[in-house]
Structure 1
């Protein structure tokens, strides 16, 4: 017997979401969106984990245990890896409960593993997206128009929405990290804020202001992609114009122009202009790809280390050309 089959939490989820109609749970004790929204500011700021009903959601006990270890400073890296593993395995509901606390770890200048805490926050706010690099889907929060379920049977759309709402609620805590001295924290903060379900215009304004003084090329590229993802989620047509202005501006650094080109292609279905194709032929070099390789958007797109940019451009510019990596993975290709 699968151990989940005897787990009361798992059984309750199956009964409610697999055997029943998820809509009957909206706003109730199994709606993780409502539960996260009900966590008080006092509980968040005081790291009062006992105020959170972890046991209502699959793997909740293990997530609480990892958060206890995080609070005590014991094996922080291992704990965060465990939470990231749950996201990778499409088990985000309980991780969504941890997002408000992870944000406070990421914003604590005395905490270790700040960038990693923010990375888990960002992944909890996204559905499984490894290998997705088409114009239509690279920056899209999938599940906008259909339901997806986690391996436990829980409605993944709600897990992701709960995390995105938690980020939006704590936007004021996260925004100062865009100016953090550590570039890995700046990238992770941009990736997390790009998933916010609200306050998009405020966030974009801060990103654009930071871009004017940012001296790290990878961070510059990440800020542009974060602006594009916010625009994709919030249907901001003005950003399409801004992206085109960026990639066509010869004064902009190459990584800004390449990232803006990616953003523009993801925000519109217009044919790729010859000018843009020529630009990418010239600027999207191996050196540029390596510079952008640490960005989470590129890591999500890659099949081999460092080839995320090449896969994105091949898929977007030549959608009818088979992907060599995909063919190697397919024994029937």
Structure 2
């Protein structure tokens, strides 16, 4: 399967005309709801097409590298080739900041994941939430961890998400992916009870991106936590509940998460996840007992084990686990970067802040 984006191929892509027009001064709002608005395109896919895997009904060709995404979905679904399964295409393109076409795959990936007999269901589930997140790798601060940037605007390309490497508005892709996941929460919720711990973690990670105004998803996380025995999965459910609560504030849930990190009967992984989640949900100064608990519980072995949580894996950096990075950013901001860490942006911090890419001022205060 081809990877990457050939320049000549990209310039013949239909969406290139839209992106070129935007560069030349066209209003983004003039493309809202049209054939290159991935939010409208995804919403218009017929349920019969997704349920029946009628891939030819989807206009993959409207978006950069859409043919590669279609092929990946086909290979995942059919398993025709033992050497080419389509695994990693969606997440790889998202890592390369090309999400638009991958969004169209989300409803199909969810159906593969929900099929308990499908040999590639775990691979599909691992890809589901990739288009629904952006600008989250290496993020570990109270202000930005677990944050859904809601300022997706139709009047400017330069909202909180900016543009993808192709010039496509990234906020449109993220919003479309989250809407697709929200539409299929009924298929994802049963996966919280799957026999595989990895599947339960990935289901929680995907569901945490869904809109949850009536708190159905959040209630499912708490219900599953009551039955869950695996400490890493329990930690995942806590982080998922915190992410949902950050984007749909609910003070009782914030207080519940606070009590979890204070509860000495909880597994250390749960208390650590709750401490990080609670810090992201409040601007209160960091309590001394939280600092003591986190520093006491966060052993190197546990920090590496918690990188099995996709939130922590995304927050990790070269030479530093995600948990350690979160603790340093949130509780010990005076500590330097780990030895050997090379920040390519360090020489240009001021310009990063001007465009909203640099670290923001932390809420509350760190440990004293």
| SS class of match (2:146) | coil
Aligned to 1:302: 316
The equivalences for 1:1-333 within 5 A come to 2-4=7-9, 6-19=11-24, 20-73=26-79, 74-75=81-82, 78-142=85-149, 144=151, 146-147=159-160, 148-198=162-212, 201-304=215-318, 307-324=321-338, 327-329=341-343
Structure 2 counterpart SS, 1:80: coil
Pair 1:42–1:199, CA change in 2 (3 A) = farther
* Cα distance change on mapping 1:330 and 1:31 into 2, 3 Å: closer
Displacement, 1:251?
1.6
Following TM superposition, by how much is the alpha carbon of 1:150 offset from its aligned partner in structure 2, in angstroms?
0.5
Deviation at 1:332, TM superposition (A): 7.5
Corresponding residue SS for 2:176: helix
- Deviation string 1:10-46 (CA, Å, 9 cap, x unpaired) is 4223134433222211112111111111111111110
Distance 1:242 1:72, change over 3 A: same
Count of paired positions: 333
Contact in 1 for aligned 2:232/2:270 (Cα 8 Å): no
Q: Any stretches of 5+ residues in structure 2 without a counterpart?
A: 1-5, 153-158, 348-368
Cα deviation code 1:59-114 (max 9, x no counterpart) = 11111111122222035875121221101001011100010000001111111232
TM-score relative to the length of structure 1: 0.94
Matching residue of 2:360: none
Take 2:17 and 2:234, find their aligned partners in 1: how far apart are those partners? Answer: 45
**Alpha-carbon spacing, 1:192–1:326, altered in 2? closer, same or farther (3 Å):** farther
Cα distance in 2 between the residues matched to 1:72 and 1:157: 31
Q: 2 CA distance for matches of 1:305 and 1:104?
A: 37
Cα distance 1:105–1:293, how it changes in 2: closer, same or farther (>3 A)?
same
Cα deviation per residue 1:290-329 (whole Å; 9 max; x = unaligned)?
A: 2211111111111137711011100111223321257544
- Classify 1:51/1:331 alpha carbon distance in 2 versus 1 (closer, same or farther; 3 Å): closer
Comparing 91-100 with 313-322, greater Cα deviation is found at: 313-322
Deviation digits for residues 138-176 of structure 1 (CA, Å, limit 9, x no counterpart): 111236362411011111101011110011100001000
Aligned counterparts of 1:85 and 1:325: Cα–Cα separation in 2:
28
Distance 1:236 1:80 in 2: 37
Cα 1:331–1:82, aligned 2, differ >3 Å: closer, same or farther? closer
Between Structure 1 and Structure 2, the one with more helix by share is: 1
SS in 1 for 2:232: helix
